[in-house]
Chain A
């Protein structure tokens, strides 16, 4: 008996692997290492290599205001990203509000999600075909349209969720205290759906500034955004500048995330509980 008891721990030591909750994360960690961390390191390394040696030349090339087209493209991307976000919010908020009031809201929201089941390239090419058939000149207008069309669902979804989660009693309390319907919207529903607005903006603005292909297709290659030019650099084997631009993009995304998170965090201490 005693022998068996003493042997047992030894055996266990040999096969130490136990199916704990942590074990489920191993494949994901491996995946992250190969497909996220390694490429990031490669980009970082590439950014500092010029003519096979360590150098800051790539950065100088990109940030040189006189010669680099990169900066103006970056500026244009941010402007278009902002415009897309604002238009999505202006269209998305009333829509989400109406849908959250409707009994069939859950079903109708599916219709806004449906286009997302089609690959965005096919969708964008189809949009272009429609514009061509209608004789619309491709340019800034069509690009913005394409961007809004692509990113609207990402705005509606978080807005819809946060508006429909607002307890009805808050609106009733506001009505009871003398607020008409418009005041209820401005003074209670709008502030209470703030977390939804923030996550909607995050989900639209950040992908929008780094978008590519949509602009290229819908402007007949007239308008290049930052995402397009990064793709361009790599396809022309200019890995150095391409990597610098990717890093700039990364920093931009980090900054906007930080700002938006700061807003959210501040708001939470200001006690939004949803």
Chain B
């Protein structure tokens, strides 16, 4: 949840989302989203399906109203403004071209409804205002043919939209949106339905259009490669929350957490331990790294990109960790090799390596990694998760306390309890809570505080609150029964663990 906004100029933002929440029924889809989109930027909302990226786009377009929070356009609140009054246009995922209209009329649809100042000034009741007029037929025809030229579909005016190929429909959809000269163009996975070759071509074309027109593009995709190629900035989302906002380079090189690293590009994500500044223990060995400022012996996620690992002979001085090659696959411009190395417990770990020379499967090999290739991040989580047992029907035991919940599972059933950060209530007086805990730390996150509180069972609760809690204070923890998510742990699953 790191925001890297510092290096970008603030003040020229065109769209601003402020603490936007959106739920469908009880299901939160977008949680406390705050973003600034700058004028002329190409911003991509990236995330797996169901992460809330399309909902976010639809809120900007005006098709959904946020449950709470504000959307600003040039600093003006447009949260409640209907879509047709917003100066944004959308390219829809399935194009949504009107099947009863031909290409010309599809593109002219918005123009025919548009009103422009006519230059004529009239005075009514002492107030002077400029008369509005509709566009003339000639103006509309000119604009449509210009838009068609822009998307390389000249002389397609009379064609029926159903006779077009997927790529052509896509171009018409883009022309239909751009012809209205919006200040912001919203694109909802516009290339999702195209084949790979066409998708690559359209990516380049969209980027050129963005450069040429200078308008703001907000792009939604689940394709990390597409996002990395096209964007000025990427907003990585997961389960309705922002994971990272940064340039593609930064997202790739310095992912904010294990999720981003995993989602963007190939990576090796390992659990390690920070021994001291500049020294990380991972895979049973200590490595030199460039990170510092972690607590001594803090558990961390260690991320290493496959192309940052060099394969060296086992007996070479560069060899930092020895293993053997399990498999090696040619990927067109590089080999992807899986190397098995043993960690301190003797368990096998699979490490992905990208390299350019063919290697023999089964051969012993050494790994060499530069200190700056270790990306080390705090272990983060997105929900409080505790494995425990039911105390009784409707009562679950959490860290020695008995919490009321909405589950009818019988006593002693093994369950996994999940509680959202903002569903944990902290009480000033320890006695007011069901269990007591100590505040470990409290970080200001831009609009709220994220606290970590440690129970007497040494479980750390992550809590989002609007108040700052003082470190080392004793507090009480309460959770509303309907906020406790209980999942039964199946026996089979337990055995697997």
Contact = CB atoms under 8 A, between A and B. Distances in A.
Interface of A: 167, 169-170, 172-180, 183, 187-188, 191-192, 194, 270-273
Contacts of A179: 84, 109, 113
A191 B98 CA distance: 10
A167 B96 contact: yes
B100 A192 contact: yes
A170 B83 contact: no
Given A271-B162, A271-B163, A188 B84 contact: no
B132 to A, nearest CB: 13
B89 interface: yes
A272 B113 contact: no
Given A167-B94, A173-B96, 12 more contacts: A172-B92, A175-B83, A175-B84, A176-B84, A176-B88, A176-B177, A177-B84, A177-B89, A179-B84, A191-B100, A271-B100, A271-B163
B100 A272 contact: yes
Contact of A178 (B61, B114, B162): B114
12 contacts: A173-B97, A173-B98, A175-B62, A176-B61, A176-B62, A176-B90, A177-B176, A177-B180, A179-B113, A271-B99, A271-B162, A272-B99
B406 interface: no
A178 B99 contact: no
Q: Which of B63, B83, B180 has the most CB of A within 10 A?
A: B83
Nearest to B188: A169
A175 B162 contact: no
A164 to B, nearest CB: 17
Contact of A271 (B82, B88, B160): B160
The interface residues of chain B, by DSSP majority, are classed as mixed
B90 A271 contact: no
A174 B109 CA distance: 8
B110 interface: yes
Interface of B: 61-63, 82-84, 88-90, 92, 94, 96-100, 109-110, 113-114, 160-163, 176-177, 180
Contacts of B92: 169, 172-173
Nearest to A180: B84
A170 B98 contact: yes
A271 B159 CA distance: 10
The interface residues of chain A, by DSSP majority, are classed as helix
A188 B105 CA distance: 12
A273 B83 contact: no
B87 to A, nearest CB: 10
A183 B110 CA distance: 11
Contacts of A169: 92, 94, 96
A175 B110 contact: no
Contacts of A187: 109
A74 B89 CA distance: 55
A272 B55 CA distance: 29
User: Can you list the 6 inter-chain pairs with the closest CB atoms, starting with the nearest?
Assistant: A177-B110, A169-B96, A173-B96, A271-B162, A175-B83, A271-B160
Contact of A172 (B96, B100, B114, B176): B96
Given A192-B100, A271-B162, A178 B84 contact: yes
Contacts of A174: 98, 109
Nearest to B100: A191
Contacts of A194: 100
Nearest to B101: A191
A172 B162 contact: no
A172 B98 contact: no
Contacts of A167: 94, 96
A177 B109 contact: yes
A225 B61 CA distance: 56
A170 B97 CA distance: 7
B164 to A, nearest CB: 10
Nearest to B109: A177
A194 B97 CA distance: 17
B15 to A, nearest CB: 15
Nearest to A166: B99
Contacts of A272: 99-100
B278 to A, nearest CB: 53
Contacts of B114: 178
Contact of B110 (A172, A178, A192): A178
A180 B85 CA distance: 9
A183 B113 contact: yes
Contacts of A180: 82, 84
A245 B104 CA distance: 50
Q: Which of B94, B100, B177 has the most CB of A within 10 A?
A: B100
Nearest to A191: B100
Contacts of A188: 98
Nearest to B63: A172
A176 B100 contact: no
B161 A271 contact: yes
B109 A273 contact: no
A178 to B, nearest CB: 4
A169 B110 CA distance: 15
Nearest to B163: A271
A138 to B, nearest CB: 44
A270 B62 CA distance: 31
Contacts of B177: 176-177
A247 to B, nearest CB: 38
B160 A178 contact: no
A255 to B, nearest CB: 26
